[in-house]
Amino acid sequence: MEHLVRVQNEYDRQVLAWLRARVGDAVVQTAAQRLAGERKPYLSTICRSLNIAPPSRRTLRAQSSRASREVGDRYLASIRQLLARPAPARTPQPQSVRAC
C-alpha cells in the first residue's frame, strides 16, 4: 500500500496500518488514486478526505507496547511450560579409559 501513499516515518506507517484495518484496503486505495496527482498523496490528506482523524502518537505507542507485552507474555508462558516438563532420563555413557 505504501506504493500509493506517501509514508515518511514510522508514525505514518502505523497510521496506514490502522487506517487499512479500520476502513479496508479497497477504500484506502480508491482514496489514494482519487487524490493522486503528480505525486503520491500524504496520509493526512487521505484521512481528511475520508473524514477520519488518525490516532495520536501516544495512542499508537500504547497499542504497540500492549501488543509487544502480549507477545512477550505468550513466549514466557511457552518457556514456563517447557521448563515444567520433567527432564528426560539420561543413560550414563561409558567413558573410555585413556592410556597415559
In a domain, 100, yes or no: no
Q: What is the mean pLDDT of residues 31-46?
A: 89
In a domain, 57, yes or no: yes
Measure the CA–CA gap between 45 and 58, rounded to whole angstroms: 21
In a domain, 34, yes or no: yes
Instruction: Determine the pLDDT at residue 97.
Output: 65
In a domain, 15, yes or no: yes
- Chain center to CA of 4: 20
- Residue numbers of the domain that contains 36: 10-69
Q: Using one digit for the tens of pLDDT, what is the confidence trace for 42-66? A: 999 999 999 998 888 888 777 777 7
For residue 10, the one-letter residue type is E
Instruction: Determine the pLDDT at residue 86.
Output: 83
Residue 90 above 90 pLDDT?
Answer: no
- The DSSP letter of residue 53 is P
Backbone angles phi and psi of 65, in degrees to 5 = -70, -35
In a domain, 45, yes or no: yes
In a domain, 79, yes or no: no
How many structural domains are present in the chain?
Answer: 1
In a domain, 87, yes or no: no
- Contact between 14 and 60 under an 8 Å Cβ cutoff? The reply is yes
- Chain center to CA of 64: 8
Measure the CA–CA gap between 80 and 86, rounded to whole angstroms: 12
Q: What is the mean pLDDT of residues 20-49?
A: 90
Residue 37 above 80 pLDDT?
Answer: yes
Instruction: Determine the pLDDT at residue 99.
Output: 64
